[in-house]
Amino acid sequence: MRRFVSKMVLVVGLAVSSNVVHAEDRTAAGKAAGVAKVAEKCEHGVKKSLCTRCNPKLEAVFKAKGDWCSEHGVPESQCAKCNPKLAKEGVK
């Protein structure tokens, strides 16, 4: 009976330690994903591939879609002056 109990303790211990490692891996992966999201943004706080100040050629695309703030010279969807919520999210 003692052998059975000691083997069970060993198996349970391995299972617990295995779950801890997986939890740590998930945490590290989540942090890496967060860093990647931050890295995707330009100095203006907008996704690099959508920033008209970094990529002036995109201006025509946003204007054609009707997404343009002529007062501030940026897409309405990126205008932190017209949309204060965007400023809280880091858009400049």
Mean pLDDT over 19-25 rounds to 52
Q: How far apart are CA 75 and CA 38, in angstroms?
A: 20
- Per-residue pLDDT for 91 more than 60? yes
| Residue 88: predicted pLDDT | 92
Q: Which amino acid is at 66?
A: G
Residue 86 has pLDDT above 70, yes or no: yes
Structure confidence by residue, pLDDT tens digits, 54-79: 999 999 999 999 999 999 999 999 99
Torsion of CA 38, 42, 44, 47, to 10 degrees: -70
Instruction: Sketch the domain layout of the chain as residue ranges.
Output: 1-40, 42-92
Structure-block tokens of residue 33: 């994903």
Chain segment 74-83, per-residue pLDDT in tens: 999 999 999 9
d(CA 34, CA 40): 10
